[in-house]
Structure 1
């Protein structure tokens, strides 16, 4: 078995030295192994892992088999949850929303003293059902670990509730509104007040959590090849651009096959972005196809590369891309919310073995845990508004095991809102990177103290 990297061993020791831990190391740095190694050394009772559904087997199960084969585990899906929790195993791996079921079946938790929340941003909304359920269950665990490589993808407020779950509010406070008032200012956007991070918010939070936080950047840990990010612009046909402008101005678009209404600003942005990608969806959820020019560009890029990962956001994108792949004789598969865990693992294995030229994937379904380092290109057929999904998806190819230069290609239509969406993504990532850089500097100071 491969020895852990130095940063993994250091993270393992940090977990052993601290009963409450936040791990904010970059995606791809091998956080899962550090948790498993620490648990194997300290094991008294069971470990509960809460993770995205897509990586229960593909990441946690595989890493258990690879790095801690002496540890036994069960994977609890909705269909077998009770049986999985009854098994005589060291670790139970289940999805985030299982906490709502556990709230009604608390007796299963008597066997556990350790919890690891993987991708803790799933619990950033204090008012969500899963967050409320987890808050009522957290006292069952003496040892608490929460980890994410994208801890505040939208605002500094995202980190408050995960931190509360870890340390009971000792560092960022027990009252959300008190925390919000200390790190944000209200700002009127023309419709209502929104809360904007104060300039010093990142430093305040980093200083508050530094004693329970461990962070390593991918580049600090591993000699990573270079990754470039480029935007390729396409021009919408005049007829389509005219329709785009009509929808932008009037919020109504009449086509040969139906009528599209966008009754408020959020819906309008969504419809306009859909229109850029070739279709809009009617009130019944059916796509009204308008044009498909950009998909040929995506496939030209795929054909010019050995192995690629293509992000799509809408069902019609997946259908057009797979249709073109069939016509061109390109070996492909796709991952979205309909892909079963077993097939997802098979797709990853086939890509890593070089049997697939491209994997088409929805960012939310393939944005965590999966290693696709055989690919060297990520192609965004259309932008996502979610900065966490954007960064995590790009990290599927830019992670430990990658030996070649990689590229991220963003496709955007000129004279539309698509370039603005990519810019907003970078703005959000800039704020997140500010906090991560501060945490990294504080971590280095701890090591040299």
Structure 2
């Protein structure tokens, strides 16, 4: 198929070619994979500036997305991919393969850096879902930081650059420019641009930016942002909150756990040693079941299962994509309904062919790079994630270009529980991220120039 890029895609390709360190904060569905491969192809075979590129991606994306995208387009079909996946023996064999592009899942980044050390061979690094490197304490970030001086070109791709606030930006931008714009350390970045918010003793739980505009200005030369709604004919999206009422007994159990950090049973208790653990236990209980101190599942109520049944019945045979949070959610839903889980490329094909009435998956498994819009238009959140990145990426599996129907997103929210807090938190995080996206947004006038 011939690649006929839109104006914004041409602009993004030029950006990646002209900037040795560059980021695309592109909404889902804008074609950042095709854009990046087009720029890479030009740098390799027209400009001869790149000889051995490495793509770091989520596992499922590394397995099938990048090479499939290249196969779609006439100008990219010649690219040969080697996937550094599987056992160590399989990974070593993939490294020795004669290929144009090498792809690895992010969980194996540390292994790859240790394997090569100072003999790092890759002169271009493409990080698919740059926001997965948002923690400066993570081993994957530290690994890439070691070899960053050995890499000539770096591209970062994400639709959610600040999933939990602007404090997340420093590690991502550091991997691009080695601290040139936001500073050499996370401590310096916090000191320069933030003040402490919520805290207990010496522990700060929240950092409040002093000047968001100053941060945006610093990174605007290497980061461009585009929202799908500005460039594509996006399907209408309807967000619906389905209120779930706890039965009296379950409500009493919830209040007791919330108040006492303890819910006793004759053969094992549900306990929470800290506020963070308590938060997780309360979220589980709101869904209907909780792990006790022996990791045994304690089923408390079926209120959310009943709400899910109502949504499925109202769908009247139309396919439904259900996102769950905990393993016991998965098992309880499986017992109640006839479902398929998203485990393989065949599941994706069957869903898009309309052969799966209810598809069940965790947002972390389906959050990146999967096109599921052909299979349905109804989403149900059985449990809500804290991560705005997971939430938005998961919704974008159906709410993207090519979707022919309104996308209806049902949120099962248990009343007077922590579910309501999570919904409000997701809304607040979305506001911060949208501010960032607007601040570094590519303007049509720039494209014309």
Fold equivalence (TM over 0.5) = yes
Partner Cα distance (1:254, 1:434) in 2? 45
Partner Cα distance (1:120, 1:284) in 2? 37
Partner Cα distance (2:17, 2:95) in 1? 25
Does residue 71 (structure 1) correspond to residue 72 (structure 2)? The answer is no
Q: What residue number does 2:432 align with? A: 431
Q: What residue number does 1:334 align with? A: 341
Using the TM superposition, give the Cα deviation of residue 16 of structure 1 relative to its aligned residue in structure 2, in angstroms. Answer: 1.3
Q: What residue number does 2:172 align with? A: 162
Partner Cα distance (2:124, 2:242) in 1? 47
Q: What residue number does 1:325 align with? A: 337
1:398-431 deviation line (CA, Å, top 9, x unaligned): 1121121112111111111211111111111111
Say which SS state the counterpart of residue 24 (structure 1) adopts. strand
Partner Cα distance (2:350, 2:444) in 1? 39
Task: Confirm or deny: 8 A CA contact 2:11 2:447 kept in the other structure.
Answer: no
Structure 2 counterpart of 1:53, from 25, 50, 59: 59
Task: Confirm or deny: 8 A CA contact 2:25 2:225 kept in the other structure.
Answer: yes
> Superposed, which structure 2 residues align to 1:194-233 within 5 Å?
194-198=205-209, 200-201=211-212, 203-233=213-243
Using the TM superposition, give the Cα deviation of residue 205 of structure 1 relative to its aligned residue in structure 2, in angstroms. Answer: 1.8
Partner Cα distance (2:411, 2:196) in 1? 33
> What's the TM-score once normalised by structure 1's chain length?
0.92
Q: CA distance change for structure 1 residues 263 and 425 in 2, over 3 Å: closer, same or farther?
A: same
Does residue 286 (structure 1) correspond to residue 287 (structure 2)? The answer is no
Task: Confirm or deny: 8 A CA contact 1:206 1:435 kept in the other structure.
Answer: yes
Say which SS state the counterpart of residue 308 (structure 2) adopts. helix
Q: What residue number does 1:14 align with? A: 15
Partner Cα distance (2:139, 2:43) in 1? 32
Say which SS state the counterpart of residue 236 (structure 1) adopts. coil
Using the TM superposition, give the Cα deviation of residue 264 of structure 1 relative to its aligned residue in structure 2, in angstroms. Answer: 1.1
Task: Confirm or deny: 8 A CA contact 2:261 2:273 kept in the other structure.
Answer: yes
Partner Cα distance (1:91, 1:205) in 2? 33
Task: Confirm or deny: 8 A CA contact 1:214 1:443 kept in the other structure.
Answer: no
> What's the TM-score once normalised by structure 2's chain length?
0.92
Using the TM superposition, give the Cα deviation of residue 288 of structure 1 relative to its aligned residue in structure 2, in angstroms. Answer: 1.3
Q: What residue number does 2:91 align with? A: 81
> Superposed, which structure 2 residues align to 1:240-251 within 5 Å?
240-251=250-261
Q: What residue number does 1:308 align with? A: 320
Following superposition, which runs of at least 4 residues in structure 1 exceed 6 angstroms of deviation? none
Does residue 100 (structure 1) correspond to residue 110 (structure 2)? The answer is yes
Q: CA distance change for structure 1 residues 446 and 195 in 2, over 3 Å: closer, same or farther?
A: farther
Structure 1 counterpart of 2:160, from 147, 150, 153: 150
1:126-158 deviation line (CA, Å, top 9, x unaligned): 121111110011222211101110001102111
Partner Cα distance (1:273, 1:194) in 2? 20
Task: Confirm or deny: 8 A CA contact 2:286 2:418 kept in the other structure.
Answer: no
Structure 2 counterpart of 1:114, from 124, 144, 154: 124
RMSD between aligned residues: 1.8
Partner Cα distance (1:219, 1:199) in 2? 30
Extract unaligned runs of 5+ from structure 2.
45-49
Does residue 128 (structure 1) correspond to residue 128 (structure 2)? The answer is no
1:180-208 deviation line (CA, Å, top 9, x unaligned): 1122111243454334222522x222211
Q: What residue number does 1:258 align with? A: 268
Aligned pair count reads: 435
Task: Confirm or deny: 8 A CA contact 1:45 1:111 kept in the other structure.
Answer: no
Does residue 25 (structure 1) correspond to residue 26 (structure 2)? The answer is yes
Partner Cα distance (1:276, 1:107) in 2? 47
